[in-house]
Amino acid sequence: MRARYPDIEGHVERDGVNVGYEVFGEGEPTVLLLPTWTIIHSRFWKMQVPYLSRHYRVVTYDGPGNGRSDRVRDPERYSADSYALDAEAVMQACGVQEAIVVGLSLGAAYGVRLATLRPHLVTGLVMIGASIPLTLSSPEREATFERFLEPPGDSPQGWQKYNLAYWHSNYHDFVEFFFTQCFSEPHSTKPIEDSVGWATETGPGILEAEALNSPPSEPWDEIVSRLSCPTLVIHGTKDRISPHARGERAAELSRGELLAMEGSGHIPNVRDPVKVNRALRDFVERVAS
Amino acid sequence: MRAILPTHVGSVTNDGVEISYEVYENDGPTLLLIPPSPITHSRIYKGQLPYLSRHFRVVTFDGRGNGRSGRPTGRRQHTRAKNVADIIAVLDGTRTDRAILTAHCHANWWALDLALSHPERVDALVAIEPGVPFFGTPHQHWKDSGETWGEILEDPRGWQLFNRHLIVTDLERWVSFFFDAQLVERHSTKQLEDAVSWAMETTGEILADSEEAQDIDPPTREEFVAFVEGLQVPVLVIHGDQDVCQRVDKGRDLARATKGDLLVIEGGGHLTLARDPVKVNRAIKRFSDKTTGANVSVQTWTRGLNRRKRALYLSSPIGLGHARRDLAIVEELRKIEPDLHVDWLAQDPVTRVLEAAGETTHPASEWLASESGHIASEASGHDLHCFQALRRMDEILLANFMIFQEVVEEGDYDLIVGDEAWDVDHYWHENPELKRGSHVWMTDFVGYLPMPSGGEHEAYLTADYNAEMIEHIARFPRIRDRAIFVGNPDDIYPETFGPDLPKIRDWTEDHFSFSGYITGFTPPTADEALEIRDELGFDPDEKVCVVTVGGSGVGQDLLEKVIDAYPLAKARVPELRMVAVAGPRIDPGALPSHPGLEVLGYVDRLYRHLSVCDLAVVQGGLTTTMELTAAGRPFLYFPLRNHFEQNFHVRHRLEQYGAGAHMDYSATDREGIAEAIARQVDRPVDYRPVETDGAARAARMIAELI
């Protein structure tokens, strides 16, 4: 059973693709919780929705490729620019003029794009475990990106599993490996199980399309520097997916606040939800006043 | 002593009247604290200044008619317009372009006028117990007394004392009644004394004039309401709901009309800024931060299981004895919890002992207002009225509590140990929602006792302080997770806390654990004593008399008197050698000298001298006398006059051990001292042994909490 069910469920069609959204509560202002890498869907906000919706209107939606949205195979539907347009469409469908926008991991990049392409829609932006390439990732991860399209070795280990052919042959093993890396904190069995479960609702074909999307036309550090709304960056110091230095850089470039989570991994909103929830609420209150 | 002094003071002249201001320089926005003169002056903000000035630039001033400002007479000199012009003159004179205003009572009307006439100079307004017209409903007693204001009453009583003739002829009677009525909170003796003394710095004539000046040129209700509703500045109203000067619905209406924030302090009266300063201070800061958009830009939060166990240890700086025993406890605690990280929040002279021991002092320690400096400033000759000195230390304790609270909110401490950290214990009971971590309270005496010289009034005051402490603990048993009495039940003074209050011993046995005494050192064996004597250069045939007054800087008179007696004593005991220890706060060069007399400054590990001397001459402080007791040395002790702890608690405890010769400072001359030295030096003693496991016992009690 969910702790909180949506008050409104709906779909919005944008350029032939259905995007499923949910609305909780009716307080002001609105908090828009963005999708992230489509390997999981909007249920990864399950620890935030019940709390935030007691105070604000909360809108979540599934990006293309997972949850209640269409399983699109067109890589361009997975660009950050396209996600920004999906978010705009969802806000319009829900009658939301502006929102405080929260993104996790790749979702932080989508949020940055929304706030720079459509600044009037975003009154504040929170970037959690931001996967925005403002600094290099770990050397072992960077190495796997280069061999992503090459054949995997006989028995790939660790980040070698981040490989297109391996996804197609051993999707479940990759997914387990990946979320074990996301949740670097001890005693994370339930968050890993949850994420692996949500990952089964999509598959390697979708992730392949996502992987081939085009980056924005200008460098990310310039885009982040252009943000004009208040920002809060939340980043774990034990983030193995996107290094903590990226969070520091994002806060610096956006002239925002930084909440460093000592000992936390890539998805602190799930693993340390109390701290993240309260930080979100504080931020919303400050921005809204 | 004040907890903080201004960066600079100055004055401006407005329309021929000198207005004195104080500036506490800092980065960031300016807060202007406006006192409701002339009934009081800027000292009304003494609880706010130390804290707010750590976060903001703060300016305050004495309004016309009180404090260090001019005393113009006549109604026309005390109008709103004059007071508003004074405020502008202070802003100009202190080069303050704009400020967040904080005003109390009727000064809020001036602040609102200023916001209307000079909106570009007002960032925001904190209105405390605002006295503004037309909002809320006035108290009946103001209506009634207003009607007889101008009459000469035969026998005015109660609110009838609000009467021109009476105020002019007997100001003290009116202000004593008024502030007593305003301080509805129990245990407000100190706040009452303060408020009355500040009010007595004006004159009845001026106060009466200022009351009548309120009637000159008032706006209409419509004008006033329209103006307040049109106000563009953010407003925070703070109001006690038991306020009998300005009814709380005034504050509610003002908050509503300005769409401002409202903080109602339930059970609070008209002086919440003085009576609940912790809550008020934090509310002002929070509101000011919100107004100016100031935020902490980088914050770190550590996952629970990633945290190392951390303790914050507070060691009272009043005397050096706490430091030694606290170090001994921490040493034992680390045997049980080797990974425990300990930060010390402490001040001079404790920090010297901690540094010598290689301990970590929290950087916020630097901000602490000096408690030992205050105590030294309260002493005069061999006299320290320590109860009154503690009462007068109220603003220092508050200032230090506000620092402490910031430290614990940022420090993830599992454990707070306060060895006589009066500020923490008191203000956590007053603001129980602020408690963090497990709290150990530790003390070596319980109960304030009146000195006979203080008469009935002092007995009333000590009983009131004791009653407040008893009520605190009865209401919030969760604030002290452990209370440790450094000693044994027999050490407790056989008295009650006051009329209708329990016996100190019964209550303490119910509410404390007993660690036994903690010396912080193991007395030397006979062989070790010879070695130490050798190291210190004491000849086996010499009879060494060590004179020391501890670390507080109080006691120069005793040192001088004993040094003066040295030649007389030497004549009686030819082998006598005298070593006088001035300690860290007395200049050894300022003491008289004699041939054969040595004067030392600060001596690390002074207990080594004491434990091998043939006689010690000391004050009545607990630590030193108990060190001598533990080491089995003969000693003379002179309690400070009017020091209840030394005269009652310590003396009683020493009697339990059969230790030391009690001496009366004022009744003993040089001859008497010389005679006592001759009688006591090298005398064999038969004291009850002092336990040596006190620190370990205390450490075990503390370790259970982590």
B394 plus B288 within the same structural domain = no
Average pLDDT over residues B93-115: 97
Closest CA to A31 of A60, A4, A3: A60
- The pLDDT tens digits for B690-701 are 999 999 999 999
B309 touches A at CB < 8 Å? no
Say yes or no to pLDDT of B215 above 80: no
Interface of A with B in 164-193 (CB under 8 A): 185-186
Radius of gyration of chain A (CA): 18
Say yes or no to pLDDT of B554 above 80: no
Closest CA to A100 of A59, A66, A61: A59
Confidence class of residue A144 from pLDDT cuts 50, 70 and 90? confident
Which of B187, B211, B235 delimits the end of a domain? B211
Is B301 close to A262, i.e. CB distance below 8 A? yes
Is A262 close to B305, i.e. CB distance below 8 A? no
Residue A272 has its nearest CB partner, among B290, B298, B303, at B303
Could you tell me which residues come within 8 angstroms of residue B510 by beta carbon, excluding any fewer than 6 positions away? none
CB atoms within 10 A of CB B220: 10
B106 plus B187 within the same structural domain = no
A287 touches B at CB < 8 Å? no
Any bridge partners for residue B546, and if so which? B579, B616
Could you tell me if A128 and A265 are in contact, meaning their C-beta atoms sit under 8 angstroms apart? no
B591 plus B483 within the same structural domain = no
Q: Tell me what pLDDT residue B484 has.
A: 98
- The pLDDT tens digits for A207-230 are 999 999 999 999 999 999 999 999
Phi, psi of B391, rounded to the nearest 5 degrees: -60, -45
Say yes or no to pLDDT of A182 above 90: yes
Is B301 close to A259, i.e. CB distance below 8 A? yes
Q: Which domain holds residue B204?
A: 140-211
Is B301 close to A186, i.e. CB distance below 8 A? no
Tell me, yes or no, whether A173 lies in a domain.
no
Tell me, yes or no, whether B687 lies in a domain.
no
Q: Tell me what pLDDT residue B550 has.
A: 72
B452 touches A at CB < 8 Å? no
Confidence class of residue B200 from pLDDT cuts 50, 70 and 90? very high
B290 touches A at CB < 8 Å? yes
Is A262 close to B297, i.e. CB distance below 8 A? no
In chain A, residues with a C-beta closer than 8 Å to the C-beta of B261 are none
Domain count, chain B: 4
B457 plus B578 within the same structural domain = no
Residue B297 has its nearest CB partner, among A257, A272, A275, at A257
Say yes or no to pLDDT of B296 above 60: no
Cis status, amide bond into B317, omega within 30 of 0? no
Which H or E run contains B430?
helix B422-430
State the sign of the Cα–Cα–Cα–Cα dihedral B665, B670, B673, B675. Answer: negative
How many angstroms separate the CA of residue A231 from the nearest CA in chain B?
10
Which residue does chain B place closest to A268, by CA atoms?
B303
B400 plus B468 within the same structural domain = yes
Domain count, chain A: 1
Is A257 close to B299, i.e. CB distance below 8 A? yes
Tell me, yes or no, whether B145 lies in a domain.
yes
Return d(Cα A187, Cα A203) in angstroms, integer.
27
- The pLDDT tens digits for B22-79 are 999 999 899 999 999 999 999 999 999 999 999 999 999 999 999 999 999 999 999 9
CA–CA–CA angle B514, B518, B523 (5° rounding): 140
B295 touches A at CB < 8 Å? yes
Average pLDDT over residues B251-268: 96
Tell me, yes or no, whether A222 lies in a domain.
yes
B288 touches A at CB < 8 Å? no
Could you tell me if A207 and A38 are in contact, meaning their C-beta atoms sit under 8 angstroms apart? yes
Confidence class of residue B551 from pLDDT cuts 50, 70 and 90? low
Return d(Cα A240, Cα A140) in angstroms, integer.
11
Could you tell me which residues come within 8 angstroms of residue B293 by beta carbon, excluding any fewer than 6 positions away? none
Is B298 close to A185, i.e. CB distance below 8 A? no
Is B298 close to A262, i.e. CB distance below 8 A? no
B124 plus B264 within the same structural domain = yes
- The pLDDT tens digits for B116-149 are 999 999 999 999 999 999 999 999 999 999 999 9
Is A263 close to B305, i.e. CB distance below 8 A? yes
Is A259 close to B305, i.e. CB distance below 8 A? no
How many angstroms separate the CA of residue B409 from the nearest CA in chain A?
14
Q: Tell me what pLDDT residue B319 has.
A: 66
Q: Tell me what pLDDT residue B556 has.
A: 86
How many angstroms separate the CA of residue A115 from the nearest CA in chain B?
21
B194 plus B237 within the same structural domain = no
Return d(Cα A25, Cα A59) in angstroms, integer.
9
Say yes or no to pLDDT of B606 above 90: no
B337 plus B443 within the same structural domain = yes
Any bridge partners for residue B122, and if so which? B99
Confidence class of residue B317 from pLDDT cuts 50, 70 and 90? confident
Confidence class of residue B580 from pLDDT cuts 50, 70 and 90? very high
Phi, psi of B255, rounded to the nearest 5 degrees: -65, -40
Say yes or no to pLDDT of B681 above 80: yes
B193 plus B263 within the same structural domain = no
Share of chain B above pLDDT 70, in %: 99
A251 touches B at CB < 8 Å? yes
Say yes or no to pLDDT of A193 above 90: yes
Is A257 close to B296, i.e. CB distance below 8 A? yes
A262 touches B at CB < 8 Å? yes
Return d(Cα A177, Cα A181) in angstroms, integer.
6
Segments of chain A assigned E as strands = 8-14, 17-24, 30-33, 57-61, 99-104, 122-128, 231-236, 257-262
Is B298 close to A260, i.e. CB distance below 8 A? yes
* Residue A276, domain CATH: 3.40.50.1820
Pairing relation of β-strands A122-128 and B99-104? Answer: unpaired
Average pLDDT over residues A54-66: 97
B474 touches A at CB < 8 Å? no
Tell me, yes or no, whether B382 lies in a domain.
yes
Tell me, yes or no, whether B297 lies in a domain.
no
Tell me, yes or no, whether A2 lies in a domain.
no
How many angstroms separate the CA of residue A44 from the nearest CA in chain B?
20
Q: What is the count of residue pairs from A and B with beta carbons less than 8 Å apart? A: 40
- The pLDDT tens digits for B466-488 are 999 999 999 999 999 999 999 99
Is B302 close to A262, i.e. CB distance below 8 A? yes
Tell me, yes or no, whether A205 lies in a domain.
no
Residue A260 has its nearest CB partner, among B290, B295, B300, at B300
For B454-542, where are the alpha helices, taking DSSP H only? 455-475, 504-511, 526-536
How many angstroms separate the CA of residue B288 from the nearest CA in chain A?
12
In chain A, residues with a C-beta closer than 8 Å to the C-beta of B306 are 262-263
Q: Which domain holds residue A231?
A: 8-137+216-288
Is B300 close to A262, i.e. CB distance below 8 A? yes
Phi, psi of B244, rounded to the nearest 5 degrees: -100, 5
Which residue does chain B place closest to A265, by CA atoms?
B303
Is B298 close to A186, i.e. CB distance below 8 A? no
Structural tokens at position B664: 């009366």
Q: Tell me what pLDDT residue B440 has.
A: 98
Tell me, yes or no, whether A39 lies in a domain.
yes
Confidence class of residue B634 from pLDDT cuts 50, 70 and 90? very high
* Residue B644, domain CATH: 3.40.50.2000
The 8 Å CB, 24+ separation contacts for B487-490 are: B487/B444, B487/B514, B487/B515, B487/B516, B487/B517, B487/B653, B488/B514, B488/B516, B488/B517, B489/B514, B490/B656
Which residue does chain B place closest to A232, by CA atoms?
B297
Tell me, yes or no, whether B646 lies in a domain.
yes
Tell me, yes or no, whether A198 lies in a domain.
no
Tell me, yes or no, whether A242 lies in a domain.
yes
B297 touches A at CB < 8 Å? yes
Tell me, yes or no, whether B1 lies in a domain.
no
Higher pLDDT, B410 or B164: B164
Tell me, yes or no, whether A231 lies in a domain.
yes
Is A289 close to B306, i.e. CB distance below 8 A? no
Which of B183, B211, B239 delimits the end of a domain? B211
Return d(Cα B90, Cα A237) in angstroms, integer.
49
Which amino acid would we find at residue B198?
Answer: W
Is B295 close to A264, i.e. CB distance below 8 A? no
- The pLDDT tens digits for B319-367 are 667 898 999 999 999 999 999 999 999 998 889 889 999 999 999 999 9
Looking at B8-17, B171-180, B291-300, B401-410, which range is the least confident one? B291-300
- The pLDDT tens digits for B378-410 are 988 889 999 999 999 999 999 999 999 999 998
B328 plus B477 within the same structural domain = yes
Say yes or no to pLDDT of B552 above 70: no
Residue A185 has its nearest CB partner, among B295, B296, B303, at B303
State the sign of the Cα–Cα–Cα–Cα dihedral A114, A119, A125, A131. Answer: positive
Interface of A with B in 263-282 (CB under 8 A): 263-264, 272, 275
Looking at A7-21, A140-154, B151-165, B641-655, which range is the least confident one? A140-154
Is B297 close to A258, i.e. CB distance below 8 A? yes
Tell me, yes or no, whether B669 lies in a domain.
yes
Which of B182, B211, B240 delimits the end of a domain? B211
B547 plus B586 within the same structural domain = yes
Looking at A46-55, A100-109, B210-219, B651-660, which range is the least confident one? B210-219
Q: Tell me what pLDDT residue A138 has.
A: 87
B369 plus B423 within the same structural domain = yes
Is B301 close to A286, i.e. CB distance below 8 A? no
Return d(Cα B593, Cα B328) in angstroms, integer.
36
Tell me, yes or no, whether B118 lies in a domain.
yes
B300 touches A at CB < 8 Å? yes
Residue B301 has its nearest CB partner, among A251, A256, A261, at A261
Give the position of tokens 């902490």. B296
